[in-house]
A = this chain, B = another copy of it.
Amino acid sequence: MILALAGGVGGARLANGLARVLTPGELTVAVNIGDDFTHLGLPICPDIDTVTYTLAGRNNHELGWGIAGESWAFMDELRALGGPDWFNLGDRDLAKHMLRGEWLRQGQSLSQVTTELARRQGIPQVIVPMSDEPVRTVVLTDEGELPFQDYFVRRRCEPRFLSIRFDGAASANISPGLQSALADPGLEAIVVCPSNPVLSIGPFLSVPSILDALHSAKVPRVAVSPFIGGDAVKGPAAKIMRELGEQPGAACLVRYYCGIIDAVLCDHEDPAAGKVIDGMAFHATDTLMKDEADQQRLATEVLALARTLP
């Protein structure tokens, strides 16, 4: 059994590669909830949705989020009524947010809701939130504190990133699905997907019981770097790294993933490729995932790397 930790698009792509090369029962994908927020009364879980739509083969390639073939009549009307239009909600996408809200109000946990929505979209793999309790990312910027989606969507990551806070993390618990995957005697490896180390994986590490479990896991733990050629394939990871005084590249993962990974798979072009830095080996391959064939190849390579580790 393989456990993958995933954030948004990059994480969803590698998770999909793993889903294609493993049998369904062999994969658990635990997903970041730091980006989650409530909008117009709807519980929005962007990373869970990106992973779910990707594994269902329904993700919108053009947008990088949401459902393929989406329509926007709701947003047109919301805009005409002068409603808040900075966060896009597709007509089809709304159905899932609405059902999620209904089930949460009925007392189901986020794990139960996530499992059920994945099942109803025909996904045989296990997708779980990192926690059933809210953990909310707040970015401290040169324009003040911004809830994550205000920073990410409304302000398009333009304010300068100073630091980050994960509200609720201290009192949040590891989700039952993530806990049981980590405790599974059949667990063979943990894969940290090529997601933003600060925004997407940071929330996992902010929850004490998740950090502890990852620290003490007795299986190979491999991270795939989200950086290629000093930049991120998608999203603001490189900009944030520079604002934190870092070189955007695989080497910075040594600090962000200290004690929770054993090796890194990075791009051939990365300055760390083939090196050992602070005792961490950086294995090199082509990490760009343009299509599902790339996703499967990278998944196969990260599993092969994990098998070489003690």
Q: How far is the CB of A268 from chain B (nearest CB, A)?
A: 41
Chain B residues, Cβ within 8 Å of A70:
73
Copies in the complex: 2
Asked if A226 is at the interface (CB within 8 A of a chain B CB), the reply is no
A98 and B78: CB pair below 8 A? yes
Please indicate the chain B residues that have their CB under 8 angstroms from the CB of A77 in the complex: 67, 91-96
Residue A81 at the chain B interface, CB threshold 8 Å: yes
Contacts of A93 in B (CB 8 A): 77
Choose one: B41, B74, B95; the contact of A41 (CB below 8 Å): B41
Q: Interface size (A, Cβ < 8 Å)?
A: 31
CA distance A117 to B78 in the complex (A): 11
Check: A40 CB closer than 8 A to any chain B CB.
yes
Which of B41, B67, B76, B95 makes the CB contact (< 8 A) with A78? B95
CB distance from A117 to the nearest CB of B (A): 7
| A255 in contact (CB, < 8 A) | no
Residues of B within 8 A of A121 (CB): 81
Q: Which residues of A contact B (CB under 8 A)?
A: 40-42, 67, 70-71, 73-78, 80-83, 90-96, 98-99, 101-102, 105, 117, 120-121
Complex CA distance for A81 and B120, rounded to whole angstroms: 6
Min CB gap A71→B, angstroms? 5
| 15 A-B pairs (CB sep. < 8 Å) | A41-B98, A41-B102, A71-B73, A71-B91, A73-B91, A73-B92, A74-B74, A74-B91, A74-B95, A77-B93, A81-B96, A81-B99, A83-B95, A83-B102, A94-B94
Residues of B within 8 A of A71 (CB): 71, 73, 91
Cα–Cα distance between A81 and B80 once the two chains are bound (Å) = 29
Least distance between A68 CB and chain B CB atoms (Å):
12
Nearest 4 CB-CB pairs, A to B?
A73-B91, A77-B95, A77-B92, A78-B95
Cβ contact within 8 Å between B105 and A92: no
Q: How far is the CB of A44 from chain B (nearest CB, A)?
A: 13
CB distance from A54 to the nearest CB of B (A): 17
Closest to A73 in B: B91
